[in-house]
Amino acid sequence: MTIKEIELKKILTESFPEANIKIDDLAGDDNHFALTIISSKFKGMSRIDQHKMVYDALGSKMGNELHALSIKTQIP
Amino acid sequence: MMDEKIKKEIKSKIQSSDIHLFMKGTPLFPQCGFSNTVVQILTYLEVSFTSTDVLEDEQMRDAIKEYSNWPTIPQLYIKGNFMGGCDIIKEMFESGELKEEFSKENIN
């Protein structure tokens, strides 16, 4: 199961329209990505809640089409 | 819905030691890079910890994700509280927060 980088960006942009989203394809297999997402939505949230917001945006993709995603969240 | 039996099992695991790691594989033979990263961090900080190999127990692998509302493995628990997965533990380690957390909870 894989997911295209463009599709990943599209899904995230829907939930974080104003965010700066940077995706690195770690292994070139559409399965291992590193994501940096800078959004004002994270203001005042714990790191865990920030990451949970990202996971919620990805829904069922996480753990299925998307095996390994490392996440870095930041506030602008 | 998670049944009571497995919920109790999770609670006893995370309360039975100061640090408990749900991981893929074992500390000696980690089966995933992310799990291995957390094991290396805990080893470097020289804290003792117990672990659960979710690859040995499919039901536990799903239940722990529901318990913490966190979709991935590994998951680190300190004094029964969910601290995060690989990314967060790595960030806390690099910033010194993890060491601080351990000393705050007087874990050594």
B66 touches chain A (CB under 8 A): no
Count CB atoms within 10 A of the CB of residue B37: 19
For helices B86-95 and B97-104, what crossing angle results, to 10°? Answer: 90
Domain ranges of chain A: 5-74
* Alpha-carbon gap: B91 to the closest alpha carbon of chain A (Å): 9
**Backbone φ/ψ region at B82: left (φ over 0), alpha (ψ -120 to 50), beta:** beta
- Reported pTM: 0.92
Query: Is B4-104 a domain of CATH 3.40.30.10?
Result: yes
The residues pairing with B20 across neighbouring beta strands, listed in sequence order, are B50, B77
Task: Please report the ipTM that was assigned to this predicted complex.
Answer: 0.88
Peptide bond into B27 cis (omega under 30): no
Is residue B85 less than 8 Å (CB to CB) from chain A?
Answer: yes
Identity of the residue in B71, B83, B87 whose CB atom sits nearest the CB atom of A70: B87
Q: In angstroms, how far apart are the furthest CA atoms of chain A? A: 35
Give pLDDT tens digits for B38-97: 999 999 999 999 999 999 999 999 999 999 999 999 999 999 999 999 999 999 999 999
**CATH class of the domain whose range is A5-74:** alpha beta
